[in-house]
Structure 1
């Protein structure tokens, strides 16, 4: 459940020149060509797209399957066997595509696709909020320096040294259950932004010493103009890579907090919550444990593979 990707990238700008590749330019086409030639990246991107599609189309998918995430099918479980699903593979059938939950009879497929909504919403929203905070703080610290840099750097050091997981558990346990997904996003972002901000700060310091920034100052450009037109565009490749690598960490964080019982509150579906519920059943109904576990593992792995490949391309200079 780490909140940091641990990536340390060099700025893409060359001394005395700022040449970010335009949308659809040769640099981007070359990157897409390299990515398409990697079967692992293609499979990872395909699985991510599949999960996103399932999350967006969850209401339609459960209408097709015929069972919602909160519907109980008592006929699909055997009370004489302690509530175990009837049939093979945890109750997998034409009616229940992924089987049913033991004890309750809720449809696992419906809870998987709605759980994908929770995982992706929390992870992507936390990544977006973290990136915004990190870019603002990193640019302020790196460009202005002095007291501003000192204060922001000490705040980053404090948050990075703080036991984030313990604090998350304590805060989420004390807060009301309403708007739990929003609370998860905020809490994750509070402890996640310093890792990216530190990279943004270091690259901003390096970029502000380049000749193209000095030329902009000499031409009379203001501070905000330099930051947004000269510095920020040269951080684009770094932000793309690090945000891609941050998403799997936040997916794992949400799942872990839900597993510990302080994340998404039942009966809202969550992959981490489903894994936690399956612990007491895995010996007699391994399918209930394996299905959400495999879905979560493949999603984290896919984002990690994609982010790692982007990092490799960036380090090789193909992504500008």
Structure 2
């Protein structure tokens, strides 16, 4: 299980040449869309995002909510095994029903997409904010500021993140677990982004256009946000895109281990965990959420890799 996105180191190769004004040296959006891998990955991500946004409408069309039980779709004499083939899939239940409970799998997949995307994107946004701000502060000001921030980064990166996430979430109350997941994931995730941003900020701070801005009397805030930050734009985009699949996998893994989203709230990781006792009898119950999760993580990874290639002037043509 991916706890923290180890792919982030590849972004150090993707930084565009620094120029005053910060225009990233890369391909146009049209060229990226023409790439088959990026187009397929982006299309699937868009599908999941739309599914999450319009979950109530989609579920209403299917006829079953994520918390409704259909006792007529399971066999009580066989411990709740779904009636019919492929887990009870049919006109009433498009993806079948959960063994034992009779809840509609399609409805829980749709609402599970909302939970997974909300947690992953929120964690990515908070991680990016912390990583960019603290990394730029450490790289630009140096000295004591750099020493303090770097020691905090080293401290957090030295922890076995998964173990401490489990310990922290287990000790916290179950209420509003989604917010806690975002905070805990971000706590252990921002140093990886900050480390890359710090290094590139230190390099950019020595460039001629920054020296010219200092000579013209520009303050530190102006230099950081108008001169340095625009030159980090492509790096931040790639880092963010590569971070999302790691956080999706983290949320699913923590829910699988029982310290993530609290039942009966739908979650793909939670559904996979519940399917462990049934996969030999109803393999579709494991295969469906597993396939959705795998394809979403793969799509973000492919899109991030293609973005890195197109934003890198030496990348693919």
TM-score class, shorter-chain normalisation, is over 0.9
Aligned-pair CA distance for 1:152: 0.6
1:90 equivalent among 87, 90, 109: 87
2:311 is the alignment partner of 1:309: no
Structure 1 segments of 4+ aligned residues over 6 angstroms from their partners: none
Distance 1:197 1:53 in 2: 31
Q: Secondary structure at the match of 2:47?
A: helix
Distance 2:165 2:4 in 1: 12
Q: Secondary structure at the match of 1:45?
A: helix
2:165 is the alignment partner of 1:161: no
* Structure 1 segment 25-40 matched on structure 2, within 5 A: 30-40=27-37
Q: Secondary structure at the match of 2:116?
A: helix
Aligned-pair CA distance for 1:36: 1.9
Distance 1:21 1:137 in 2: 23
* Equivalent residues of 1:13, 1:19 under 8 A apart: no
* Cα 1:135/1:156, change in 2 over 3 Å: same
Partner residue in 1 for 2:16: 12
* Structure 1 segment 20-99 matched on structure 2, within 5 A: 20-21=22-23, 30-99=27-96
Q: Secondary structure at the match of 2:90?
A: coil
2:3 is the alignment partner of 1:2: yes
Aligned-pair CA distance for 1:316: 2.8
Q: Secondary structure at the match of 2:302?
A: helix
* Equivalent residues of 1:31, 1:318 under 8 A apart: no
Distance 2:70 2:313 in 1: 55
CA offsets 1:177-208 (integer angstroms, 9 cap, x no match) = 11100000000000000000000000000000
- Alignment RMSD: 1.5
2:142 is the alignment partner of 1:139: no
1:178 equivalent among 164, 175, 191: 175
Partner residue in 2 for 1:241: 238
Distance 2:310 2:58 in 1: 37
Distance 2:116 2:287 in 1: 17
2:265 is the alignment partner of 1:268: yes
Distance 1:285 1:273 in 2: 16
1:106 equivalent among 97, 103, 108: 103
Partner residue in 2 for 1:257: 254
* Structure 1 segment 292-303 matched on structure 2, within 5 A: 292-303=289-300
* Equivalent residues of 2:41, 2:299 under 8 A apart: yes
Distance 1:31 1:95 in 2: 45
Count, aligned residues:
312
CA offsets 1:13-43 (integer angstroms, 9 cap, x no match) = 33xx324339xxxx77x43222222211111
Q: Secondary structure at the match of 1:90?
A: helix
Structure 2: any 5+ residue segments left out of the alignment?
none
Aligned-pair CA distance for 1:317: 5.2
Q: Secondary structure at the match of 1:279?
A: helix
TM (norm. structure 1) is: 0.94
Q: Secondary structure at the match of 1:267?
A: coil
Structure 1: any 5+ residue segments left out of the alignment?
none
Distance 1:255 1:104 in 2: 21
